[in-house]
Chains A and B, each alone.
Chain A
Amino acid sequence: MSRSRISLALGAVVAGCALSGCGSGGSDASRVPAGTTATLALLETTDLHTNVMSYDYFKLAEDKSLGFERTATLIAEARKEFPNTLLLDNGDTIQGTALSDYQALVKPLACTETLAMYKVMNLAGYAGGGIGNHEFNYGLPFLSQVTGNRFSVGSMAEPAAQPTCKGPNFPLVLANVLSVKTGQPLFQPYAIIDKTVTATGPDGKAVSGTVKVGIIGFTPPTIMSWDKRWLDGQVFTTGLKEAAEKYVPEMRAKGADLVVVISHGGLDNSTYTPTMENGSYHLSTVPGVDAMLIGHSHQVFPNATSTVAQFKLPGVDKVAGTVNGVPTVMANYWGKHLGVIKLGLSFDGAKWVIDKTKTVVQARSAQNADKTYVAVAPEISAAVAAEHQATIDYVKTPIGSTDFQMSSYFADVGEVGAIELVNQAQADYVARYVAANLPQYASLPVLSVSAPFKSGFAGGSDYTDVAQGSLAINNAADLYLYPNTVHAVKVTGADIKNWLETAARRFNRIDPTQTAQQELVGGFPGYNFDVFSSPDIKYEIDVTQPTGSRIVNLSYKGAAIDPAREFIVATNNYRASGGGSFPGLDGSKTIYASPDANRDVLIQYIKTLKNVTRAANGSDRSWSFRKVATAGPVVFHSAQGKLALAQAAGIGGVSVVQADDGSGKSLALYAIDLSR
């Protein structure tokens, strides 16, 4: 079919453009008569994040709401609808799923191989792409390799000494990231694509023409903060506007009929600065920009019903899809949408110009009106079957083993079987970081807190429960539910007491004289019930006291904690940055904000340990209830039939009151004897 030939020819022309900028324009003047018209639809994907398949690698289950295998169907439908299309990607493409981690970190891609994501993009016939911020997440050597570039940066060998690895077979453009070493752009800033179009002559007959489409890419300058560990001293960013003002006239001078901005960023009309994250609004005001493909914000634009602030700015038409009159599209994320900018073109005898009355902008969803999803394009999964299966195998691979069932069923009464390993991993990670990088804090003890994230709110199955035996990557998601990153805070003994007082709000105030049954646990969520689990720190919780006065006998290494003594506590970004409104925790005490996820730190720790044991990793109870005799029963709820687990963990005084608590949530009612 004819499209095949066009696609192949296009690839070759694009390659030539990357080298030469495609010379002078107006080549159509000799064969296309003035007055010829054509329709060209720009198709945008953005923030695909390596969601090739409609699949959730954590759940190891299909997820129809995302995945390029469905976006591909939208692309095919658009190609049937429009005579001429140009498929472009906005970036945030090569990172974001277990598949991308597998190809970058677990079994790094060989130089001769193509990333799974780029494989299917090649298959789909992309004409070009931009670079998002997430492209930098795996570091510059990886990005250089998988995009088929040879970066000239200080941390890498001279380009001549690098192999040229396989990249996508379409150009990637980025105008605002430069090498510190050379002062030159890291990628080619723009490309001019000779797009062969079928058009209609003034006589009504079909003619073939060539539209020179210039594409220029931008990424958020804030990459310098987000990926500082890879980028500091290697590259720097220039402002989006300055870069556009420099290159757009150059693209026009080289004959670009159209200039399409591929800006990985949303809209922000605050005063322009060269470091602002979302510069697309200001790019729209640069003369010579014909259309913008934007992204990064994970939003849909145009979208008449959107309540998003950035689409309510002056000059932004969220119905028509224009920003200061420039047609603009944002195609959501994870392949959920396809952006379409349909342009009506006419040839004026020298160049192609846009007939603005014919412009139509749409973001097309992979979800149908009846909530079903469009069908998958089967060749997508076929093309990456091996990579997909390898990723699933990786997620299931044993990384160690445990000699006990690790669960959170009795975390509210002191069980640390699913928490201590997390605390140990966090403390070990932070202690090593401090020793290596923060000598000023080397003398401070490093402690760790964590909470039972899964604490039964949704019923008996809403608990961490990892079976005795082998531990795999996917078990780590059960042991650590949220995708937090490790943060370390510097606090005093007084701060620790306040911290624990807040955590102890988990419990209702118990009246020891009351003969009626009393519920132990109140509405304070389990995810805020931070506990230590270390032989070094001990405390009791006196539930007969009001909140704020419950922590007693708080000691460190056998002696009462000095309120003025400083400690480092390993926790997560949520807590360290103010989550849960703990006193003194609001980011101002954070001494290390690691980019590494608590869950990944846990996985590494398990790999190092290999054998997790109850004795070493699940029995150091730092806290207990202050002993008190109560006149009536004190009760709590947990999953049914789990009493033996409490006993195995050495939690005394627990008994079953009702095997089924009647809530209909597979919960039982247990009692705890606080006098034991």
Chain B
Amino acid sequence: MRSIFPGKRNPKRLAAALLSAAMAVGGVAWATHVGQAGGLPDDPLQLQVLAGAGRQDKAFARLESLAGDGAPVAQRVLGEVLLSRGEQATAAAGWLRRAAEGGDTAAAFVLGKLYLNGAPGVARDAPQGAAWLGVAARAGHAGAAYHLGIAYRNGYGVDASDVEAARWLAASAERGVPAALFMLANAYREGAGVPRNEGEAMRLYAEAAELEHPEAIQTLAMAYRNGELGLAPDEAEARHYVMETAHALKHPALKP
């Protein structure tokens, strides 16, 4: 049988051997290209990566220095890095509060979540958490709007209200937060806080699915399987979405 591929009949051993030899020393060769000492960025978001996941003490010290100088973004980022370390929630709350009071909306959001859930050293205080989420959500923070919607859905620190829940989920969904799109779709499907509207639910599920929200994709799989949400049963489409669900579950859209 004639090969459709070039090289099929040629042994590749030489190339492979050269390649593995090259790779063996590749790490050394690249070492000269990426310096970690000195040259730290000034951008707190880049420092966050280096000090957080990168575990670089110098980046952490630089962040502390910027935060001490009063930069709200650096204060918030320092708070987040401390939270990610898991043991310094009290100090984190202090930095986050300073940043939030300095007008950093994202800090108010993180602080709201912190109080809503509690952490070692920071007692759960749902009303305070919901209040900070409200500050951020009213300033247009999409993640805060999502969590505020969930707070209203459950009555976490606020009086439970499906209408308020749907209102804040919609504010978040408008800015493309996948979990908000999904929960708002549920609300339209059930008529919870909004008039029941399967077409709108379907539109929102599809938008969340496009953003790799696994539960939204699975909802489409089930809907195609059972002929729900105005869809005709379609085994091939159902199977496609089941496979996409499996795929998305390896990298679900992150919650705000």
- Residues of A in contact with B (beta carbons under 8 Å apart): 1, 3-4, 6-8, 11-12, 14-16, 18-21, 49, 72-73, 76, 79, 95-96, 122-125, 133-134, 137, 148-150, 152, 159, 164, 166-167, 169-171, 178, 180, 182-185, 188-189, 220-226, 232-233, 235-239, 242, 246-247, 250, 270, 273-275, 277, 298, 308-309, 377-379, 457-458, 481-485, 525, 527, 573-574, 577-579, 581, 584, 586-588, 595, 597
Contacts and interface: CB of A to CB of B under 8 A. Distances in A.
Interface stretch (B12-20, B87-95, B97-105, B131-139): B12-20
Contacts of A223: 251
A526 B244 CA distance: 22
Contacts of B222: 525, 527
Nearest to B43: A274
B7 A8 contact: yes
Given A19-B29, A133-B251, 20 more contacts: A3-B6, A14-B19, A15-B15, A49-B247, A150-B24, A166-B16, A183-B36, A232-B53, A237-B49, A238-B46, A242-B46, A273-B45, A298-B247, A457-B225, A483-B243, A483-B246, A573-B214, A574-B218, A577-B182, A588-B156
A169 B233 CA distance: 45
Closest 7 CB pairs of A and B: A11-B15, A183-B36, A483-B246, A3-B6, A236-B53, A15-B18, A7-B7
Given A15-B19, A18-B23, A586-B183, A458 B225 contact: yes
B189 to A, nearest CB: 7
Interface string B82-122: 00000000000000000000000000000000000000000
Contacts of A270: 176
Contacts of A180: 53-55
B49 A588 contact: no
Nearest to A593: B252
B22 interface: yes
B20 A525 contact: no
B251 A484 contact: no
Contacts of B233: 457-458
Interface string B235-247: 1000000111111
Given A225-B254, A232-B53, A482-B245, A12 B27 contact: no
Given A11-B19, A236-B49, A185 B182 contact: no
Interface string B123-159: 0000000000000000000000000001001101000
Nearest to A120: B5
Interface size range of chain B in the complex: 35 or more
Contact of B4 (A133, A189, A379, A584): A379
A169 to B, nearest CB: 4
Contact of B249 (A250, A458, A573, A586): A573
Contacts of B176: 270
17 contacts: A152-B27, A180-B53, A182-B27, A183-B35, A185-B34, A222-B254, A226-B252, A270-B176, A377-B4, A377-B5, A379-B1, A483-B246, A527-B222, A578-B179, A578-B183, A587-B179, A587-B255
B64 interface: no
A164 B182 contact: no
Contacts of B23: 18, 148-150, 164, 167, 188
A224 B19 CA distance: 29
A377 B3 CA distance: 9
B192 interface: yes
A597 B247 CA distance: 12
A226 B246 CA distance: 14
Interface in B158-200: 176, 179, 182-183, 186-187, 189-190, 192
A125 to B, nearest CB: 5
A274 B46 contact: yes
Given A185-B30, A483-B246, A525-B226, A12 B14 contact: yes
A220 B189 CA distance: 33
Contacts of B189: 581
B7 A4 contact: yes
Contact of B19 (A18, A21, A232, A298): A18
A379 B5 contact: yes
Contacts of A76: 4-5
A579 B215 contact: yes
B118 to A, nearest CB: 11
A223 B20 CA distance: 26
| Secondary structure dominating the interface of A | loop
A124 B5 contact: yes
Contacts of B156: 588
A378 B245 contact: no
A12 B250 contact: no
Contacts of A178: 34, 54
Interface string B20-63: 11111111011101111000010101101110111110000000
B30 A15 contact: no
Given A169-B19, A379-B4, A525-B228, A581 B247 contact: no
Contacts of A485: 249
A8 B247 contact: no
A233 B56 CA distance: 11
B81 interface: no
A184 B249 contact: no
Given A378-B1, A458-B225, A19 B26 contact: yes
A170 B20 CA distance: 10
Contacts of B251: 133-134, 220, 222-223, 226
Contacts of A481: 242
A1 B244 CA distance: 41
A309 B24 CA distance: 43
B31 to A, nearest CB: 6
Given A7-B6, A123-B5, A588-B150, A134 B19 contact: no
Pick the most buried of A124, A242, A298, A588: most chain B CB atoms within 10 A of its CB. A588
Contacts of B210: 308-309
Contacts of A124: 5
Nearest to A527: B222
A232 B85 CA distance: 11
B15 A72 contact: no
Contacts of A275: 45, 49
Contacts of B245: 482-484
B164 to A, nearest CB: 14
Nearest to A19: B22
Contacts of A232: 53
Given A4-B9, A184-B34, A237-B53, A18 B22 contact: yes
B19 to A, nearest CB: 4
B5 A125 contact: yes
| Residue with the highest number of chain B CB atoms closer than 10 Å, among A183, A573, A597 | A183
Contacts of A378: 1
Contacts of A49: 247
Contacts of A573: 214-215, 249, 252
A20 B18 CA distance: 13
Contacts of A185: 30, 34
Contacts of A595: 250
Contact of A137 (B54, B153, B250, B255): B250
Nearest to B255: A587
Contacts of B190: 581
B249 to A, nearest CB: 5
